[in-house]
Amino acid sequence: MKVSREARNKYQLEDFKFSEKGNLIFNGEIYPVRLLVQRLNQKRDLISLPETGYKVGYFNAVALISEINDYVIDLYDKKNGELNLRKDLYNHLSEEIGEEELFEATKDLVEEFPPEVIYKNKSEPEEYLEKKSDGEKNKIEFVEEFMGLWLANSNPAFSSYKEFFDDDILKHKKIYKKIQEETQEFFEEQPKFGPKNQTLIEMLREPSEKHPHELKKQLEFMHENWEELLGKYAMKILIALDLIREEEKFRGLGPGEAKVLEYAQLEYENFTPDKEWMPKVVMIAKHTYVWLDQLSKRYGRSITKLNEIPNEELDQLRDWGFNALWLIGVWQRSKASKTIKEWTGNPEAAASAYSLYDYVISDDLGGHEAYEDLKRRANNRGIRLASDMVPNHTGIVSKWTKEHPDWYIQLDYKPFPSYSYSGQSLGDDPNTGFYLEDHYFSREDAAVTFKRVNHNTGKERYIYHGNDGTSFPWNDTAQLNYLLPEVREAVIQTILYVSRLFPIIRFDAAMTLTRKHFQRLWFPEPGTGGAIPSRAEHGMTKEEFFKKIPKEFWREVVDRINEENPDTLLIAEAFWLLEGFFVRTLGMHRVYNSAFMNMLRDEDNAKYRAVLKNTLEFDPKILKRFVNFMNNPDEETAIKQFGDGDKYFGVCLMMVTMPGLPMFGHGQIKGFEEKYGMEFRKAYWDEKIRWDLVHEHERKIFPLMKKRYLFADVNNFLLYDFQTGGHVNEDVYAYSNRIGNEKGLVIFHNKYKETKGVLKRSVGFAVKEGDDKKVIQESLAEGLDLPKEGYCIFKDYITDLEYIRRNRDIHEKGLYVELKAFESHAFMDFRVVRDDEFFHYSQLHDLLDGRGVHNINETYQKVVYQPLHAPFEKIVNTATFEDFIDAKKASLVIEIVDTNLQNFLEEVKNYASGGNQVQEVKKEILEMLESSLNLKERKDSLNFEEKQKNILTNIIPEDDFEWGILFSWIFIHPIGKITSKENYELISRSWIDEWQLSKYIELTLDGLKKDDKEKSWEASTLIKVLISQQNLLYNFDSKEMKSSTVLKMLFTNSDAQQYLNINRYKETLWLNAEAFFNFCDWIGLITVIKILSSYGKEKAEKKIGKILNIIEDWKQYSKQAEFKVNNIIELVEK
């Protein structure tokens, strides 16, 4: 880590380790970082501004990333041994910049960031640069240091630490930027490096470019992508991440029969390219009026306008992972639709959302202004709004039926003589009448036309209702005539208008407007009529029809959108096996995939796998264009179709991890069962939110929704056969996808029975070869991009368990999986690891034997540290501590502990790479253990006043749990002395984290405090504070220092700040009263025990008396100060 002269002077860093080139080095060790952070924070006012203090975890991350960068540069140099990297770089820079100019720039660098000999004034910069190191002059060796400095300053996550390596002084000189540019140019011409075969600069900058403001994610990126290169630093990263987590921890959303898709080879390819955001869309539908009614009930106030939708609702959608909100029914509806419903017995109904008067935001929703308010707030949260567009028809009484009656399919006579239109007009215009056929009201017939009359001229038209030929006509609609160019253009202009308001448009019943089906329904070829009564006689030959509509309407729409408003996502609601045609040939961005809902609901798994296989073999790109859903407004709710158990969540998992666009229904996440009609103004059922389902979505589904970038595309998508006893089990869906180094494997068993089998080979998929294609298969190992050597580690997002598998087994045998009924897995976070000389990963693999664990890094470290943990677990455990507490067994247990303690300390010595103090530390521990066990007796022998005796009595442990805290502290507090008696407290404190000793302490305390497990974690945190602060009062001498000085030292310690919950509220620093009192008692107790173990009776009495007075004073002053930090210090100073 580069450190400037100014920073070295400011913080007096002479006793820290620097490289010959002047870089501060820690070798990934935490202890020296703790020392340094302590030194740095002493220069800060952490009493008034504790938030300005450096944190060990984050400072360690900065240092570690810097060291890893240097390490990778050295690896690169060694790998390219035939090159003389530094000399070649020096020659390049000299040639491009000038040797003298480069020399002056390097001199500036060593003056601002001096090597040791320059900093200690043992050499002048000019002299130093002309001297040789490793056979080359320093001016040659030093050119790469520009790169390290530049990497540090260009990393946004390093900005809080810039005082150490700020290059602003050098930036003022143009040559510094020129050196940066030429260094990059140089490496562009050098051999590539690393797992992605990048230039060295690209590789080193990638972590900060991927995660510019998150040190933690930069470390995770390095570990996941560079692990094979990192050597010892791989483990250091894991420890660094654990340290950060600990510091962070304490601060407290179709109709028709489902048929297997088959693809006609005649369909030509003309996909519309996606914009960057489109593949990642995850959409939720809301029936607007129903939603507003539900929000009114939830928030206890009237919410009827779009601008009144609370921000909290948008926040929740965003936080869940939704980035698209489909508002159903926002357009101005035809009042005639509402009138028809009233006439037929539903006075509460609204007009249908698909019987429109005009494309303007409805006034009762607040109109355009209210919509723009909602749109702005949604956009601010990354949510795009979606709307329906109904191109097939308008409302029966609409702006167009009034102004452009010629635009509709119609007759100037009744299609059937029996039709009569004697009722009231649906319109409110005295000049124009709109009449439903009489038999509709008696339920005797569903006429295909209504009558429009111009009362001024007497002209009658019999206009057809909208109709898709599958059921009855939609009696509140009027069918547009797409044979007319002016109609097509008017609809396109409307679509363009809608696209300027909504970035996502869903086209209702889009399949009815393809030339094939529009002709079939309305102008059938002779001999093919019958879809709609009375239309056979108005048929045309295909040639005649194509002259009227020379180009597919939807292709024309797509082309116009691409030309005039290309940042619009177009979704077609289309069935009738037209899904591939709509996206591949007509160019629609997305198309409904009703087979997903229907076949998975009915467990027609062989059929749906056939859909997927046919699509993959024809053109995999179609798969990413599907809209997958579990219900839509025309179907029953998801919970009615799929239930609320494992089947539902398995299908939902597929929906959010398959290529395509996942679409959730209104109320789906909350478990609502009511199906909302298009005329609903409110929910009629009083349904309560199923919070259990919401939380299951939050646990299993939403984390994966946020990874749509991984699942949305098909470039690396593979569908696998699940081989069971020699045949393929069609009930199991297994597929993988990947992007870059990130990959996922999803498995779901959609059947109520158990199965087991192997995933090894994919089904066939098409790949292009020029103008031709071929169908190939790949293995699971290829799909996951696994090398043959090493192991892969991955996590199941459904169970939160992590697994390890041997790569060669997956290559040769596949992946063996056992599945219960409707069981699902989402294997994610794959990373490849290589074994070390100790075969730790092999041991881990054999230890787990296929089982999953909640933290595989922790289990791995358990393997690594097993020789250390085994004896430690024998001395720190519930049974041993209980025997200590039992006075009759104490002496016997101490004898047994003696051997295990010796073994533990010997292992400490081994892991610490040496030390000669094992026996001395062991003796200290046993003496303190004995002092603590005799504490009550020793107390009675001391000559104290009654007040001091009471204080001492009160701090002696009262229950097993408190004794467990004390014993745990005794066994660990001095172990740092094995390597050094200087700062041994911080060494001991660091080793607790590095060697993961806390978990054994917490398990032991759990056993002693069976009713409150959370207390064990709090106690473990207290023990860490007591270890780092063990000599706070032990070394106190009233002649040499004030009690207030000691208290300030305590309040500036980061461990203590966390434990005491020192926090700022309204410009005042507070601490937690209970925690402070507790700490006073404990620091007093351990100090008393240390004194009793170190001094004779007379001197011990004197020192203990002072200590007891101090902690009692601190308590009293804190009460008087109302637990305000600065006030406590002021009172103590007085």
Give 1008's pLDDT tier (boundaries 50, 70, 90): confident
CA distance 560 to 490: 13
Asked if 1063 and 1025 touch (Cβ cutoff 8 Å), the reply is: no
- pLDDT, tens digit, 9 for 90 and up, residues 817-839: 999 999 999 999 999 999 888 78
What is the pLDDT at residue 260?
64
Distance CA 315, CA 588 (A): 30
pLDDT at 181 over 50: yes
82: pLDDT confidence band, cut at 50, 70 and 90?
low
Position 252 scores a pLDDT of 37
CB-count exposure of residue 132 (10 Å: 0-12, 13-18, 19+): exposed
Residue 250: what pLDDT? 47
> What confidence tens digit (pLDDT) does each residue in 844-883 have?
999 999 999 999 988 888 888 889 999 999 999 999 888 8
Mean pLDDT of 806-823: 97
**Interval 1062-1094: pLDDT, tens:** 898 888 889 999 999 999 999 999 999 999 888
**8 Å CB contact between 21 and 145:** yes
Cα 282 from Cα 599, distance rounded (Å): 22
Specify the pLDDT at position 259: 61
pLDDT tier for residue 254 given thresholds of 50, 70 and 90: very low
- Measured CA to CA, the distance from residue 245 to residue 237 in angstroms comes to 12
Q: Which of 531, 537, 556, 413 is nearest to 473 (CA)?
A: 531
Considering Cα of 490, then 496, then 498, then 504, what sign does the dihedral take? positive
Tokens of 948: 């001091």
Give CA angle at 795 (792, 799), nearest 5°.
145
The residue that leads in pLDDT, 341 or 782, is 782
625-640 pLDDT per residue, tens = 999 999 988 889 999 9
- Nearest-angstrom CA–CA distance, 1000 and 861: 13
3-state SS, residue 854: coil
Helix (H, G, I), strand (E, B) or coil at 874: helix
The fraction of the chain above a pLDDT of 70, given in percent, is 97
pLDDT, tens digit, for every residue of 579-610? 878 788 888 899 999 999 999 999 999 999 99
Cα→Cα distances 547→485, 557, 581, 855, Å? 11, 18, 21, 68
Identify which has the larger pLDDT, 679 or 536: 679
Q: Is the dihedral of CA 383, 384, 385, 391 positive or negative?
A: negative
Residue 702 pLDDT > 90: yes
Q: Which CATH number fits domain 719-846: 2.30.110.10, 1.25.40.10, 3.20.80.10, 2.60.40.1180?
A: 2.60.40.1180
pLDDT in tens, 774-804: 999 999 999 999 999 999 999 999 999 999 9
Question: What number of residues does the chain have?
Answer: 1134
Give the pLDDT band of residue 1036 (cuts 50, 70, 90).
confident
Q: Which of 50, 56, 62, 41 is nearest to 246 (CA)?
A: 56
Looking at the chain, the domain(s) classified CATH 2.60.40.1180 span 719-846
Select the more confidently predicted residue: 708 or 255.
Answer: 708
**Whole-angstrom Cα Rg for the chain:** 38
pLDDT (0 to 100) of residue 1013: 66
Q: What share of the chain is helix, strand, coil (3-state, %, to 5)?
A: 50, 15, 35
- Contact criterion met (CB below 8 Å) for 627 and 590: yes
Contact present, 747 and 732 (Cβ < 8 Å): yes
CA–CA–CA angle 412, 418, 424 (5° rounding): 75
- What angle in degrees, to the nearest 10, is found between the helix axes of 1014-1028 and 998-1008? 130
Q: What is the mean pLDDT of the chain?
A: 89
- CA 950 remoteness from chain centre: 54
Would you state the pLDDT for residue 483?
Answer: 96
Q: How far is residue 517's CA from residue 532's CA, in Å, rounded to a whole number?
A: 12
